[in-house]
A and B are shown apart, each in its own frame.
Chain A
Amino acid sequence: MTRHTRQFGPLLLILVVVALVPVLFGVGGITNLLEQVFAFALFAMSYDLLIGYTGVVSFGHAVFFGTGAYVVGIFLAHSGGSSGGLLVGTCVALGMSILLSLLIASISLRIRTVYFAMITLAVGQTFYVLSGSQMLQPLTNADDGMTVPLPVWLTHDRPVYYFSLAVLVLCLVLLRLFVRSPVGLVLQGIRENEGRVLTLGHSVYRFKSIAFVISGLMATVAGILYVIAQTFVSTGVYDVSISLDVLLMTIIGGIGTLYGGLLGALIIIVAQTEFTNLAGTYPIFGRYTILFGVLYIVIVRFMPRGIVGTILESIKRRSGQEG
């Protein structure tokens, strides 16, 4: 019991504070920012399932994020923002996500990890091109993107905020259950020693595929949260920079920690917003991606466990010394 309070106490405290934000600070700038953070936090956690629990790097995870955003956006736009449109769109998006992840897994998870990175990059770019192509203009409005009408019960800031937060918490609980399940334990085994799991008789390919499908589903939900928060969708959701941002969020927070994504998303989204504001006065801040590139290298070199991972490790070490 005490172990559980120690483990979940800080998380519950954070949840209460986050839930009180609209009451304390009102709605507007800060809640809009946090809605984006919620979407990307879920996205980063979905990514962590991939890199942190199976050890494969994808440079095209925006495929799922973008598909969630686009499919739900299209269904909402064509149904005039009805709840039915949101529901059907969500189901279609999740279905497409499963098909897509199975397809990518079947061609790329059987071979070397570096192939997986290259293939996901290429597939991601294909979706980017497709979403902007004139051929699909009636559906996607091509390069111009489209405004997405929301159901009546989601038209105000506060409902959107609590809806996003609720979905994030629900998915976090589901992800945690998955990671602690027997399947999740095998996945961690694969990350630590793939050969041994293989000799124990598990199909490594099948377990990696399961992780990839679940990761894709969560990323799709993240995309749906994003389109609800932005009420707009454009080719940018498929951009390779989205895939690279989410990767950075995950490694900053700490791979294999699941919660790291929450912190990573907060840091990167706030940094991006601040830099964009500063760039208005000092144009050099518009080149903040340079800093993100440096962060990639610095984290791999000096802090491979990320912020949450490093903290957890030092806590473990200290309690180990005491006991």
Chain B
Amino acid sequence: MGIFLTLALNGIVNGSLYFLMAAGLTLIFGLMRVVNFAHGGLYQWGAYLATFVFATTDNFVLALAVGMLIAIILGIVMERGLISFVYHNENGQLLVTMGIMLILTELIKVPFGPSELSSNTPTDLSNSWLVGQVVIVQYQLFMIGASIVVFILLLWILHKTRLGMIVRAGVYNPELVEACGIAIGRVFTIVFALGAGLAGLAGALAGPYLGAVTPTMGFDMQLSAFIIVVVGGLGSLTGSFIGSMIIGILTAVVSFYFSSLAVLVNVVVMVIVLLIRPQGLFGERESAT
């Protein structure tokens, strides 16, 4: 029972990290029909810079802010400078964002080197308690709390603000939104920056949780995030949340028993979902285009 609860807790922590990534991917896809294959690169830059800032200033709030900010800046530059040229060119988007991913993952090695960098947990958050047979780490609770806050905040933005209304309308018919006199291009940039910021935040939170930042962390995370949005349904925020929890818990359980096979199990789950519900658990049916 103790093992089961510990694994469940670890899974939820994984899931909350995944959710921050998947939410950004799904928001960007929902509005712009762009799958950002550079999302893992933004996560990685957030992770490295937050680790660096925390190591030098010992200020965790500043580290989180810098991690988010660098991802937002990179996101805006990417969207304005490169991706805006390939809207309506699906293969072009795939190639351009993957090219950016390659650049981001390699470029980070220039200042920080190709080996891993250890990442410390702030002392204020490194308490732990033994409840029953389960060890609860304060930092893990902090991560779960952060992702719940983000989830609620996103739901609030989408359903209660003017921006959210425009975004929801834009998902269904961007041309009509533009015809109403709203600069949809600017909304695209805002949503892209928001998604990028979430990836940066995920990276900044992931460093202390994983204990180290590595050059492959971006690709690894991106892979899980893709599996999640495919399982949950691209474009659905709730789908991303449920998908993150499913894949998070599954990863925790499988890695405990068969250390390296988590990817395999995740892919099998993805295949099963695709065979039964090609549009994902919460996705809306859409014909092949």
Which A positions have Cβ atoms within 8 angstroms of B? 51, 55, 57, 59, 106-108, 110-115, 117-119, 121-123, 125-126, 129-130, 132-135, 194, 204-205, 240, 244, 247, 251, 284, 287, 289-290, 292-297, 299-301, 304
Q: Quick check: A289 and B102 within 8 Å, CB to CB?
A: yes
Q: Quick check: A129 and B91 within 8 Å, CB to CB?
A: no
- In the complex formed, the residue of B with least CB distance to A301 is B85
Q: Which residues of chain B are near A284, meaning CB under 8 Å?
A: 110
Report the bound CA distance from A91 to B96 in whole Å: 37
Most A CB atoms within 10 A — which of B102, B105, B274? B102
Most A CB atoms within 10 A — which of B82, B94, B267? B94
- In the complex formed, the residue of B with least CB distance to A298 is B99
Least Cβ distance of A284 to chain B in Å?
Answer: 8
- Besides the known contacts A118-B227, A122-B226, A293-B102, 5 further A-B residue pairs in the complex with CB atoms under 8 A apart: A111-B288, A117-B37, A118-B230, A297-B96, A300-B92
B147-184 with Cβ < 8 A to chain A: none
Q: Is B58 an interface residue (CB 8 A)?
A: no
Which residue of the partner chain, among B103, B227, B229, contacts A290 with CB atoms under 8 Å? B103
Contact A126-B263, Cβ < 8 Å, known A251-B95, A294-B99, A301-B85: yes
Report the bound CA distance from A132 to B91 in whole Å: 31
Q: Quick check: B278 and A122 within 8 Å, CB to CB?
A: no
Q: Quick check: A300 and B106 within 8 Å, CB to CB?
A: no
Report the bound CA distance from A114 to B280 in whole Å: 14
Least Cβ distance of A239 to chain B in Å?
Answer: 10
Q: Is B12 an interface residue (CB 8 A)?
A: no
Q: Number of B interface residues at 8 Å Cβ cutoff, please give it.
A: 46
Q: Quick check: B264 and A293 within 8 Å, CB to CB?
A: no
Report the bound CA distance from A179 to B288 in whole Å: 24
Q: Which residues of chain A are near B29, meaning CB under 8 Å?
A: 114
Report the bound CA distance from A299 to B99 in whole Å: 10
B70-99 with Cβ < 8 A to chain A: 82, 85-86, 90-92, 94-96, 98-99
- In the complex formed, the residue of A with least CB distance to B109 is A287
Contact A129-B101, Cβ < 8 Å, known A247-B95, A300-B86, A300-B96: no
Q: Which residues of chain A are near B267, meaning CB under 8 Å?
A: 122-123, 125-126
Q: Which residues of chain A are near B96, meaning CB under 8 Å?
A: 296-297, 300-301
Q: Which residues of chain A are near B100, meaning CB under 8 Å?
A: 293, 297
Report the bound CA distance from A296 to B98 in whole Å: 8
Chain B binding surface, main DSSP class = helix
Report the bound CA distance from A114 to B266 in whole Å: 19
Q: Which residues of chain A are near B37, meaning CB under 8 Å?
A: 59, 117
Q: Is B261 an interface residue (CB 8 A)?
A: yes
Q: Is B107 an interface residue (CB 8 A)?
A: yes
Report the bound CA distance from A28 to B107 in whole Å: 34
Q: Which residues of chain A are near B86, meaning CB under 8 Å?
A: 300-301
Contact A110-B35, Cβ < 8 Å, known A51-B91, A123-B267: no
Q: Which residues of chain B are near A57, meaning CB under 8 Å?
A: 91, 94-95
19 A/B residue pairs, CB under 8 Å, sorted by A = A51-B91, A106-B275, A108-B274, A111-B274, A115-B230, A118-B227, A122-B230, A122-B267, A135-B258, A135-B261, A194-B289, A204-B288, A205-B288, A251-B95, A284-B110, A293-B100, A293-B103, A296-B98, A300-B95
- In the complex formed, the residue of A with least CB distance to B114 is A286
Least Cβ distance of B228 to chain A in Å?
Answer: 10
Report the bound CA distance from A11 to B94 in whole Å: 32
Least Cβ distance of B274 to chain A in Å?
Answer: 5
Report the bound CA distance from A300 to B94 in whole Å: 10
Contact A290-B106, Cβ < 8 Å, known A118-B226, A126-B267, A129-B261: yes
Q: Which residues of chain A are near B124, meaning CB under 8 Å?
A: none
Report the bound CA distance from A194 to B90 in whole Å: 14
Q: Quick check: A114 and B227 within 8 Å, CB to CB?
A: no
Q: Quick check: A110 and B261 within 8 Å, CB to CB?
A: no
Report the bound CA distance from A117 to B25 in whole Å: 15
Q: Which residues of chain A are near B85, meaning CB under 8 Å?
A: 301
Q: Which residues of chain B are near A107, meaning CB under 8 Å?
A: 271, 274-275
Contact A126-B264, Cβ < 8 Å, known A289-B106, A296-B102, A300-B92: yes
Q: Which residues of chain A are near B82, meaning CB under 8 Å?
A: 297, 301
Least Cβ distance of B268 to chain A in Å?
Answer: 9
Report the bound CA distance from A254 to B286 in whole Å: 31
Report the bound CA distance from A112 to B278 in whole Å: 10
Most A CB atoms within 10 A — which of B35, B99, B258? B99
Which residue of the partner chain, among B107, B109, B279, contacts A111 with CB atoms under 8 Å? B279
8 cross-chain pairs, A with B, having the tightest CB-CB distances, nearest first: A296-B99, A293-B102, A293-B103, A118-B226, A289-B106, A297-B99, A114-B35, A290-B106
Report the bound CA distance from A121 to B225 in whole Å: 12
- In the complex formed, the residue of B with least CB distance to A194 is B289
Q: Is B219 an interface residue (CB 8 A)?
A: yes
Q: Quick check: B98 and A244 within 8 Å, CB to CB?
A: yes
